[in-house]
Amino acid sequence: MAKPLRIGMIGYGFMARAHSNAYCKVNHFFELEYEPVLKAVCGRNKDKAQEFAANWGYEAVETEWKKLVQRDDIDAVDICVPNNLHKEIATAAAKAGKIVLCEKPLAMDSTEGAEMCDVVEKAGVPNMVWYNYRRIPAVALAKQLIDEGRLGRIFHYRAMFLQDWTIKEDLPQGGAALWRLDAAAAGSGVTGDLLAHSIDTALWLNGSMKSVTAMTETFVKERLHTETGKVEPVEIDDACAFLARFDNGSLATFESTRYARGHKALYVFEINGEHASISWDLHDMHRLQYFDHRDDSLVRGWRSVHVTDGDMPYMGNWWVPGLQIGYEHSFVHQVADFLAGYAKGEPVSPTFRDALETQQVCDAVLKSAKDGQWVEC
Amino acid sequence: MAKPLRIGMIGYGFMARAHSNAYCKVNHFFELEYEPVLKAVCGRNKDKAQEFAANWGYEAVETEWKKLVQRDDIDAVDICVPNNLHKEIATAAAKAGKIVLCEKPLAMDSTEGAEMCDVVEKAGVPNMVWYNYRRIPAVALAKQLIDEGRLGRIFHYRAMFLQDWTIKEDLPQGGAALWRLDAAAAGSGVTGDLLAHSIDTALWLNGSMKSVTAMTETFVKERLHTETGKVEPVEIDDACAFLARFDNGSLATFESTRYARGHKALYVFEINGEHASISWDLHDMHRLQYFDHRDDSLVRGWRSVHVTDGDMPYMGNWWVPGLQIGYEHSFVHQVADFLAGYAKGEPVSPTFRDALETQQVCDAVLKSAKDGQWVEC
Amino acid sequence: MAKPLRIGMIGYGFMARAHSNAYCKVNHFFELEYEPVLKAVCGRNKDKAQEFAANWGYEAVETEWKKLVQRDDIDAVDICVPNNLHKEIATAAAKAGKIVLCEKPLAMDSTEGAEMCDVVEKAGVPNMVWYNYRRIPAVALAKQLIDEGRLGRIFHYRAMFLQDWTIKEDLPQGGAALWRLDAAAAGSGVTGDLLAHSIDTALWLNGSMKSVTAMTETFVKERLHTETGKVEPVEIDDACAFLARFDNGSLATFESTRYARGHKALYVFEINGEHASISWDLHDMHRLQYFDHRDDSLVRGWRSVHVTDGDMPYMGNWWVPGLQIGYEHSFVHQVADFLAGYAKGEPVSPTFRDALETQQVCDAVLKSAKDGQWVEC
Amino acid sequence: MAKPLRIGMIGYGFMARAHSNAYCKVNHFFELEYEPVLKAVCGRNKDKAQEFAANWGYEAVETEWKKLVQRDDIDAVDICVPNNLHKEIATAAAKAGKIVLCEKPLAMDSTEGAEMCDVVEKAGVPNMVWYNYRRIPAVALAKQLIDEGRLGRIFHYRAMFLQDWTIKEDLPQGGAALWRLDAAAAGSGVTGDLLAHSIDTALWLNGSMKSVTAMTETFVKERLHTETGKVEPVEIDDACAFLARFDNGSLATFESTRYARGHKALYVFEINGEHASISWDLHDMHRLQYFDHRDDSLVRGWRSVHVTDGDMPYMGNWWVPGLQIGYEHSFVHQVADFLAGYAKGEPVSPTFRDALETQQVCDAVLKSAKDGQWVEC
């Protein structure tokens, strides 16, 4: 029988749903020493919190997060609320001795992030940030191929995260659904939301960055604010692009936007090495593109690897070759890895400390965009 | 609170797992009057059955299906065992007044299938066959577009279901894992396994077939039988292709094989109409290809529709645009639709009667392959 | 200095243009002992023939093909007229001792075709049929890979040639532009036009066929005839599909139509072997798809080979890697190969005799479609 | 009868070959008032020049370009030599009253380029630079769609030109074949070679740029120089990436490299507008990707437009729908457009003045890369 790991969830939005699904599914597909138990969910609106609890099977409901983090029947606090609340909640949870699982980005900025790292480390509590894309099988496979040295010296890295959902000028900012457009809640726009994912993957696959030069733009300057009821200036970045140099000598380009008509959530990366290259695209997340120059020249070409076989990362736990899994499975894998690490007393990446590096790059990017200068990371 | 629909599962293999997952997930994502409750699972090997029950949360275990179908605490019997057992179990379940949910293909042949239809209809029990591919959102969208009349008169239909997993000559036949290679358990090879899916979709999208001409082949003539321990003749069809004429005047080609090197589970269909065409591929199941000749000629081309937006079939219940779901979700959708229909007292397609038509086409195909003649369906 | 090979062209339509371009270009890109010289063109409409001659540099014009084939200053007769004239012209040309280069298909049927083979062989004149698709670099590469034995035992072959240009019901039949819809001029519809290409490639890549079963359809039953001015029955096949067994034991499906909305000239073939598979598509004719099961399983996938490097068939004569050539180049390659063979006194495939086999398969297909029976090839 | 336009070609390398082919072909496919006549070719190596002349039909050979530009029997001088010779030759040709057709990039830098513009404009001679990619039908179609206003307000532009041919460390620099690696002959590396193409297209499609920030890198620091016989520092840029802001408010990223393993000549651009987006890729140059948000949401997706129909730019002059043309045809189109403009006495874009703007952006990019600052264009 698996031992319980009692979850206290803060938030009942999109991410709370994705995580809850992962908690419910993980032990059906992974053999683990621990099993999540959904103890309590916290949200300011009691009716909605109760509805969420009923749907997912949380045993109790709280309306104040400060109460939730103090509950004795909770082992882990999962933070699924806007970025401006991460630090305060994580700090309180860590001080209460709870495991802290925090949605990305870690914090509003790297100053906050560094403080959060200090707190969880001082408290000695396991901690993790939900950069879930690392656990998509094709992305994990990319990591494995790179770590095996198949690519040789790396020359180039490029990443884009393109969406188009905010082109509409009459989309308001603020509130439960649209806090991502409100700088007070989100800290930044696409940088913390989308680029943070691209940066996390890049640091994981290609090591640390040395320096960046960036530009940002806000295409729609004013939007109705749902909380004030007034048209207010939009202070987040609608788009951000930057050039970077990595410690390993490779050059990189990064771009993210919510104004790329035709792209829903096109997260793409490509890495070019001396011998081989890899590329991947979230829109077809079950495929990895691989090119190996050492192939016989007559049949050398980009290989479209359908990452569904049992010998590929995580896939032995699911169906049979040819049958896809989806977005939600990345969270299941992250929970599975966390539970396995927890059982062994080992930290599971990305920890707060790992995620801090992404935050520092985000800060450098935003500073560069503001100052018009190259900035060291 | 949702009302319970108590499930008795027969089998603990791949399909039992896919269905159990669907029962566990469906109410988290769909608002329904009923909720499946996993009451009992039945398997001949008690240890394995108990392990399966523990993993999925079935409350009880049986080792004889005849006991399971008689249990008072069961509303629905789910048949996930080899084809040669479908009829006997379905008959007993129907006579016991249970809802009968049967894996595809319905039966060993259409004679058996017709008897099964009579039994469930006479018993007046709800019944359904798990042709799950109808509920993949892109496939459901294809159906919707066709029903809206967007394609105009249909000229062509083509379908392929290509795999490559039996090329290895030392793969044995028979037993729990490989009963699909054993004619005694499976009835036929790719015809009942793969073509049955292609035919079910085709009949649903394009109406009934008039006649077929077919060929089959068994490339590896003998394999070790895991039950007898001897090398025995292989009596299933490794590959089957047929030409067909539909009632609506369109021409069709169908092919399936387990010897198409490079294809894991490439189920593809395409339908060509006077005005528009549609194609789909299980290997990228979240996309639908659509061509509309009425488009402005300068920008006319096949559109790759990423079927992930909330206004597309089933997708409003999942994540956000751009984020894929997977194979397993087709079963969740089928359960959701079944429960919704059940609440309203309506049959949910494909019923046994619907699935019988697929069985009749399979029979015609196998007869044609044997006789070398066109056969009426 | 290259020696002249004096060309007499019969016809001034699409194919005459494609061949003339090839004659003009070939020596700029290929080092050859012979060089085509455009001596005379023949067409019934003198003005059009003169215009064609002026455009391409033909020195003389004839309006009667019987005169052209008797000219002393001509070495080779190129037959680019409707199928119903092939036999008579080829016979006269051969008897006049001319090289005969005939557009495909060879003849109206295999009886005619066999007579033509006898005539050219008896006359001892070099002869060739313009099945140009063999000389597309990616197709020639496929042949090379198969001949090297990379695929192992062949299980499956499939080919489609799909167009959509005759869906329009008010398209007339007959005349210079639309003789392909007129059975009197074309002999058959898609079978001789499109399937003939697919069959030629298949026989070349996969060897001879044993037997076929086919169906044909004429979707638009009557069309205005441009010559009679009346609405006349359409007697060609608008669509044709067939199943086949090859001598090597592999199974095949073939389909062609002019009613596949969305496809302009989608000629696709795929061949599945024990170890490897190949597929190709005329719509992206510069790419070959290759799958090799012997690849390391983690990076196994279909390779998209961009057939533009100098070590690939014909490509060393053109530009640099990454830069495409087009449809017209297949004719240049065929002329280059013919001239090289001619210089060495060797026949160049497909000869009339090679093309006769395609004609025989076409006949078997049409007979099967008519009789509803399997027919031996 | 077309009037002759007598060509004097300087150079006999790759580009001289591409242009000569265009001169030979253009009047076979385009109805024009003028027809190029290949009068003389000039190269320092007489044997090679004679061989080139014999192959293409140039009537005479020169070994000194100063003689060629003075010949009375020449109307137009075509400059196909390394960049460091463009200015001197163009100046002499213009002063001799010749039409000047110059390979791209216009000059070693914008100072030279500006002088060249002044010279040709003062001399009043027609002039053009061979930015041939504008005349690929799919690219010309993109221009047409943008000019029609289909995209609405433009938010983003991105372009990459990726190759991998210089990864090999033992590739030498300098000489006829490898002058592109020698800064003395080429001026810059990928910036003048590849980015210049990307910038030319971008300025044409999206208007002028305001400012850029760039980085460059030389991955292989030393290579054997074929002229000195010694290992010498490599002074060109192997890779260059930059961010840009356009006058129309859109943001852009540009990247080019010869170290992107797996890409032969991957020139890609994408433009995102309020209503629609377009992307294109040289590796499949006959396709244009188009997305229109105004499509019915159920069938909204990227359309893959196979740019081969007769109503698409230039395609009415070639074959039939579905049949590709290639790289070389872009030069044919440029000659056709030039001859048509010449007949009407109109300048044909890109003129020297048009190409100067590209040169200025290149200069700004290289300055930014050197100084680490944003630079105004």
When the pLDDT of each residue in chain B is averaged and rounded to a whole number, the result is 96
Q: Is the pLDDT of residue B136 over 80?
A: yes
For B290, the closest of D290, D297, D299 (CB atoms) is D299
Q: Which of A130, A158, A176 is the last residue of a domain?
A: A130
Which chain D residues have a beta carbon less than 8 Å from that of A251? Answer: 215, 217, 239, 241, 257
Q: Is the pLDDT of residue C1 over 80?
A: no
A240 DSSP β-pair partners: A216, A256
Residue A22 DSSP SS3: helix
Reported as a single tens digit per residue, the pLDDT across D13-62 is: 999 999 999 999 999 999 999 999 999 999 999 999 999 999 999 999 99
Reported as a single tens digit per residue, the pLDDT across C340-349 is: 999 999 999 9
Same domain, C303 and C244: yes
Q: Compute how many other C-beta atoms are within 10 angstroms of the C-beta atom of residue D7.
A: 23
Question: Cα distance from A283 to chain C (closest Cα, Å)?
Answer: 18
Residue C318 DSSP SS3: coil
Query: Residue C313 and residue C305: Cα distance in Å, rounded?
Result: 13
Which chain C residues have a beta carbon less than 8 Å from that of B276? Answer: 261-262
Query: Residue C360 and residue C365: Cα distance in Å, rounded?
Result: 9
When the pLDDT of each residue in chain D is averaged and rounded to a whole number, the result is 96
Residue B33 near residue B3 (C-beta atoms within 8 A): yes
Question: Cα distance from D221 to chain B (closest Cα, Å)?
Answer: 43
Residue B43 near residue B101 (C-beta atoms within 8 A): no
At residue B31, the pLDDT reads 97
Residue C223 near residue C231 (C-beta atoms within 8 A): yes
Residue B198 near residue B269 (C-beta atoms within 8 A): yes
D44 DSSP β-pair partners: none
Query: Residue C29 and residue C335: Cα distance in Å, rounded?
Result: 12
Closest-CA residue of chain C to D165: C321
Query: Residue B96 and residue C112: Cα distance in Å, rounded?
Result: 71
Instruction: Return the CATH number at A354.
Output: 3.30.360.10
Q: What is the CA radius of gyration of chain B?
A: 21
Same domain, A221 and A265: yes
User: With bands split at pLDDT 50, 70 and 90, how would you rate the model's confidence at C187?
Assistant: confident
Q: Residue A363 carries which side chain, given as an amino acid letter? A: D
Question: Cα distance from D377 to chain C (closest Cα, Å)?
Answer: 31
At residue C175, the pLDDT reads 76
At residue A29, the pLDDT reads 98
Q: A244: closest CA among A211, A290, A277?
A: A211
Closest-CA residue of chain A to C150: A299
Same domain, B217 and B309: yes
Query: Residue B338 and residue B129: Cα distance in Å, rounded?
Result: 11
Q: A70-74, A206-210, B135-139, D231-235: which range is least confident on average?
A: D231-235
Same domain, B106 and B155: no
Same domain, D316 and D224: yes
Q: Across chain A, how many H-helices and E-strands are there?
A: 12, 17
Report residue D277 as tokens.
Answer: 């987006």
Q: C17: closest CA among C33, C3, C38?
A: C38
Query: Residue B135 and residue B334: Cα distance in Å, rounded?
Result: 6
Q: B314: closest CA among B5, B78, B26, B33?
A: B26
- Contact criterion met (CB < 8 Å) for A215 and D261: no
- Contact criterion met (CB < 8 Å) for B298 and D306: no
B41 DSSP β-pair partners: B9, B61
Range of the domain at A44: 3-130
Residue B80 near residue B15 (C-beta atoms within 8 A): yes
Q: What is the CA radius of gyration of chain C?
A: 21
User: With bands split at pLDDT 50, 70 and 90, how would you rate the model's confidence at C182?
Assistant: confident
Q: Is the pLDDT of residue B139 over 90?
A: yes
- Contact criterion met (CB < 8 Å) for A259 and D272: yes
Q: Which of D132, D154, D175 is the last residue of a domain?
A: D132
Residue A352 near residue A127 (C-beta atoms within 8 A): yes
Q: Compute how many other C-beta atoms are within 10 angstroms of the C-beta atom of residue C309.
A: 17
**For every one of its 377 residues, what pLDDT tens digit does chain A have, with 9 covering 90 and above?**
799 999 999 999 999 999 999 999 999 999 999 999 999 999 999 999 999 999 999 999 999 999 999 999 999 999 999 999 999 999 999 999 999 999 999 999 999 999 999 999 999 999 999 999 999 999 999 999 999 999 999 999 999 999 999 999 889 988 776 888 888 888 889 999 999 999 999 999 999 999 999 999 999 999 999 888 999 999 999 999 999 999 999 999 999 999 999 999 999 999 999 999 999 999 999 999 999 999 999 999 999 999 999 999 999 999 999 999 999 999 999 999 999 999 999 999 999 999 999 999 999 999 999 999 999 99
Which chain A residues have a beta carbon less than 8 Å from that of D255? Answer: 158, 253
D243 φ/ψ angles, rounded to the nearest 5 degrees: -100, 150
pLDDT above 70 as % of chain C: 100
Q: Is the pLDDT of residue B214 over 80?
A: yes
Residue written as token pair 């008039």: B210
Query: Residue A52 and residue A304: Cα distance in Å, rounded?
Result: 40
Same domain, B195 and B251: yes
Q: Residue A254 carries which side chain, given as an amino acid letter? A: F
A85 φ/ψ angles, rounded to the nearest 5 degrees: -105, -10
Same domain, A243 and A117: no
Q: Is the pLDDT of residue B185 over 90?
A: no
Taking one residue from A and the other from D, the number of pairs with CB-CB distance under 8 angstroms is 116
Question: Any alpha helices (H) in chain C, and if so which ranges?
Answer: 14-29, 46-56, 65-70, 86-95, 110-123, 137-147, 175-178, 183-186, 190, 196-206, 328-344, 352-371
Chain D: touching chains (3 or more CB pairs < 8 Å): A, B, C
User: Residue D216: which H helix or E strand, with range?
Assistant: strand D209-217
Q: B273: closest CA among B289, B292, B254?
A: B292
Q: Is A2 exposed, middle or buried (0-12, 13-18, 19+ CB in 10 A)?
A: middle
Closest-CA residue of chain C to D263: C322
Query: Residue A262 and residue A215: Cα distance in Å, rounded?
Result: 22
For D304, the closest of B141, B145, B302 (CB atoms) is B302
Q: What is the CA radius of gyration of chain A?
A: 21
Question: Cα distance from C284 to chain A (closest Cα, Å)?
Answer: 15
Instruction: Return the CATH number at B98.
Output: 3.40.50.720
User: With bands split at pLDDT 50, 70 and 90, how would you rate the model's confidence at D176?
Assistant: confident
Mean pLDDT throughout C307-320?
A: 98
Residue B128 near residue B223 (C-beta atoms within 8 A): no
Q: Is the pLDDT of residue B183 over 80?
A: yes
User: With bands split at pLDDT 50, 70 and 90, how would you rate the model's confidence at D349?
Assistant: very high
For D290, the closest of B145, B301, B306 (CB atoms) is B301
Residues 6 or more apart whose CB falls under 8 angstroms from that of C233 comprise C221, C222
For D217, the closest of A251, A255, A274 (CB atoms) is A251
Reported as a single tens digit per residue, the pLDDT across B331-363 is: 999 999 999 999 999 999 999 999 999 999 999
What helix, strand, coil percent values describe chain A, rounded to 5? 40, 25, 35
- Contact criterion met (CB < 8 Å) for A141 and C309: no
Q: Compute how many other C-beta atoms are within 10 angstroms of the C-beta atom of residue C320.
A: 15
Taking one residue from A and the other from C, the number of pairs with CB-CB distance under 8 angstroms is 56
For A265, the closest of B25, B263, B323 (CB atoms) is B323
At residue B192, the pLDDT reads 92
Q: Indicate the number of domains in chain C.
A: 2
- Contact criterion met (CB < 8 Å) for D277 and A291: no
For D303, the closest of B145, B303, B306 (CB atoms) is B303
Which chain B residues have a beta carbon less than 8 Å from that of A283? Answer: 306, 322
Reported as a single tens digit per residue, the pLDDT across D296-312 is: 999 999 999 999 999 99
At residue C47, the pLDDT reads 97
Classify each residue of B350-371 as buried b or exposed e, where b means 16 or more C-beta atoms within 10 Å of its C-beta: bbbbbbbbbbbbbbbbbebbee
Which chain D residues have a beta carbon less than 8 Å from that of A215? Answer: 213, 243, 245, 251
Query: Residue A59 and residue A54: Cα distance in Å, rounded?
Result: 8
DSSP B173: B
User: With bands split at pLDDT 50, 70 and 90, how would you rate the model's confidence at D72?
Assistant: very high
Same domain, B145 and B52: no
User: With bands split at pLDDT 50, 70 and 90, how would you rate the model's confidence at D160?
Assistant: very high
Instruction: State the SS3 of C164-229.
Output: CCCCCCCCCEEHHHHHHHCHHHHCCCHHHHHHHHHHHHHHHHHCCEEEEEEEEECCCCEEEECCCC
Residue written as token pair 């930015």: D131
At residue D68, the pLDDT reads 98
Closest-CA residue of chain C to B251: C217
At residue A180, the pLDDT reads 84
Q: D105: closest CA among D358, D354, D336, D371?
A: D358
Q: For residue A4, is the peptide bond before it cis, meaning its omega torsion is within 30 degrees of 0?
A: no
- Residue ranges of chain D whose CB lies within 8 Å of a chain C CB: 14, 18, 20-21, 24-25, 27-28, 55-56, 163, 165, 263-266, 282-287, 306, 308-309, 318-329
- Contact criterion met (CB < 8 Å) for C241 and B243: yes
Residue D248 near residue D206 (C-beta atoms within 8 A): yes
Q: C368: closest CA among C376, C157, C258?
A: C376
Query: Residue D174 and residue A286: Cα distance in Å, rounded?
Result: 45
Same domain, C176 and C119: no
Residue written as token pair 């089959």: B216
For A264, the closest of B20, B163, B306 (CB atoms) is B306
User: With bands split at pLDDT 50, 70 and 90, how would you rate the model's confidence at D192?
Assistant: very high
For C321, the closest of D265, D322, D328 (CB atoms) is D265
At residue B187, the pLDDT reads 84
Query: Residue C53 and residue C55: Cα distance in Å, rounded?
Result: 5
At residue B230, the pLDDT reads 93
Chain C: touching chains (3 or more CB pairs < 8 Å): A, B, D
The pTM is what? 0.97
Mean pLDDT throughout C160-182?
A: 88
Q: For the residues of A55-83, what is the DSSP string, one character each?
A: HHT-SEEES-HHHHHH-TT-SEEEE-S-G
Same domain, B185 and B210: yes
CA atoms within 13 A on the CB side of C25: 26
Closest-CA residue of chain B to C295: B262
Same domain, D103 and D143: no
Question: Cα distance from D211 to chain C (closest Cα, Å)?
Answer: 31
Reported as a single tens digit per residue, the pLDDT across C17-71 is: 999 999 999 999 999 999 999 999 999 999 999 999 999 999 999 999 999 999 9
Question: Cα distance from A302 to chain C (closest Cα, Å)?
Answer: 5
At residue A185, the pLDDT reads 85
When the pLDDT of each residue in chain C is averaged and rounded to a whole number, the result is 96
Same domain, C308 and C186: yes
End-to-end CA distance of chain C: 47
Which chain B residues have a beta carbon less than 8 Å from that of A56? Answer: 28
Residue D144 DSSP SS3: helix
- Contact criterion met (CB < 8 Å) for B217 and C291: no
Residues 6 or more apart whose CB falls under 8 angstroms from that of D68 comprise D8, D10, D40, D42, D62, D74, D77
- Contact criterion met (CB < 8 Å) for D266 and C329: no
Question: Cα distance from D233 to chain A (closest Cα, Å)?
Answer: 18
